[in-house]
Amino acid sequence: MEQIEARNIQKVYRSADLTRVVAIDGLDLDVRRGEFLCLVGPSGCGKSTFLSMLAGLDHPTGGDLLIEGMPITSPRAEVAMVFQEHALFPWKTVLQNVAIGLRARGVRRKEAENTAREFTEMAGLKGFEDKYPFELSGGMKQRAGIARALAVSPEVLLMDEPFGALDAQTRIFFQEELLRIYDQFKKTIIFVTHNVEEAVFLGDRVVVMTFRPGRIKEIVPVNIGRPRTLKIMGDNLFLKTRTSIWEILSEEAISGYRAQKGAT
């Protein structure tokens, strides 16, 4: 069952010199309830822009963007977003940061704190509830950001390269943690990444976008069962799927480079 529907989405910007820039043009996509969908594509193809529109933080210039059959016109309680940067409030403790979404939804302070404490512990931050962001490592800040998003029990979780700034070892840890959380809660996740291996490891399907203007070039199913562990990265099916996506992505990146070069 489709939970999110994008029909002929277009997004046009005006640059500083008033030049018309078409970021996304004719994007069509359905996302099923409980699906883990990964988006990959060349830089500037509109992945983050599309995620912002799904979050209600930006709006399409044209087309229809629906969740549960209703147009997305503003941020919605059932949708949470995790950014590449943790976006924590520096003057609030970890516990206060995790609870802030609940408080904004009218949850009483004590109940919000109790829920926030559960998700803080789940994110591996037990003992750091009263610390401020400047007292945390980069990985711990990102854990707090993920805990904050999950604490409001969203039906849809949008993740914009949330592990991009982490070192390789920490990134792998977070990938495994995210899969554990997904297996536990089965929320719909739309995950933007530049890392093809990460997309195949995490996703049910991988959407490859074209160079600007962004459209769907191809959707590659990941026919690997769950739960998943790092061992699957050595499997032939994993390697075959990764190679297939790399070939599609490389082809698109080269054509985009040629188009840019021709334009100059």
pLDDT digits (tens, 9 = 90+) for 68-125: 999 999 988 889 998 877 689 999 999 999 999 899 889 999 999 999 999 898 888 9
| Least confidently predicted of 14-28, 43-57, 207-221, 239-253 | 14-28
In contact, 162 and 83? CB cutoff 8 Å: yes
Task: Report the C-alpha gap between 39 and 222 in whole angstroms.
Answer: 13
Domain boundaries, the chain: 2-78+155-263, 88-153
Q: Which is it for the CA torsion 235, 241, 244, 245, positive or negative?
A: negative
pLDDT digits (tens, 9 = 90+) for 213-248: 999 999 999 999 999 999 999 999 999 999 999 999
Q: Determine the length of the chain.
A: 264
**Closest to 61 in 3D by CA, of 89, 26, 111, 37:** 26
The pTM of the full predicted model, rounded to 2 decimals, is 0.88
Tokens representing residue 14 in the block: 């005006």
What is the CATH number that goes with domain 2-78+155-263?
3.40.50.300
Answer yes or no: is pLDDT of 20 > 70: yes
pLDDT digits (tens, 9 = 90+) for 150-190: 888 889 999 999 888 777 887 888 888 889 888 988 889 99
Tokens representing residue 193 in the block: 């990444």
For residue 114, give every residue at least 6 positions away whose Cβ sits within 8 Å of its Cβ, in sequence order, or none. none
